[in-house]
Amino acid sequence: MDSIAEAKRTVVVAVDFQPECASGDGAWPIHNGAEVLKNAASVLAAARRAGLPIVYTKHVLDPGGLDSFRYEPRSESGRPLHSVRGDRKGEICDEVAPMSNDIIVEKQRWSGFYGTKMDLVLRRLDTTHLIMMGIWTESCFETTVWDALWRDYKITIVKDACSSATELMHMTAILDMANWLYGGMIVSAAEVVKAIGGRPYKAWHFKSPSQFKYTLTNIDELYGSI
């Protein structure tokens, strides 16, 4: 992201910004949802100004539960307890709503790559670099990051446009990813907006594996360092 030329092969990936998670009355509410949506919206606006492609993932399940996890809890009728096709809480949040030229990838498992068209779309766009943000840092977001890494994409994580049920769950997941994010960066929403716009920015860059040996006593300091 050091220049607009490099940014032309960059795609923004927004993982599961759905009311099921981002609103207080969904099945899987997250910590600090309103702030996360605000940060994500600023990144998406910058991406659109720069003409970067945007890919959303959306967790969508059949009302009959035919494509849910075999052992996932369901109602007595077999209906999934979240992300049901046709339910408003399963759509993308209004604050970060996709536009007509954005791409939506539907998924039935945590990773945005598992059983989806994600990799085909990214290859077709000649993508080498992903700016990634999303909800449930240690599950849907993290598994999508790992699957992108396995496919040799360079990854930039927007850490304050991600969240989980608690701040501690989120922070440990970010540090876990930082420990193995070969070639990647971690950055705030404000800084990535600068980067997309071609301005100087600050980011944490991966240097060596397992750098962050966090404990309950030092996790705030380590998280703050990235």
Mapping DSSP onto H, E and C, the string for the chain reads: CCCHHHHCCEEEEEECCCHHHHCCCCCCCCCCHHHHHHHHHHHHHHHHHHCCCEEEEEECECCCCCCCCCCCCECCCCCECCCECCCHHHCCCHHHCCCCCCEEEEECCCCCCCCCCHHHHHHHCCCCEEEEEEECHHHHHHHHHHHHHHCCCEEEEEEEEEECCCHHHHHHHHHHHHHHCCCCEEECHHHHHHHHCCCCCCCEECCCCCCCCCCCCCHHHHHHCC
Burial 57-68 (b: 16+ CB within 10 A, else e): bbbbbeeebeeb
Q: pTM here?
A: 0.93
Structural domains in the chain, CATH included, are 4-224 (3.40.50.850)
Mean pLDDT by 10 residues, the chain (226 residues): 62 95 81 95 97 96 86 85 84 95 95 97 96 97 98 97 96 97 97 95 96 93 93
Look at residue 149 in the predicted model and tell me its pLDDT.
97
Look at residue 69 in the predicted model and tell me its pLDDT.
82
Look at residue 8 in the predicted model and tell me its pLDDT.
64
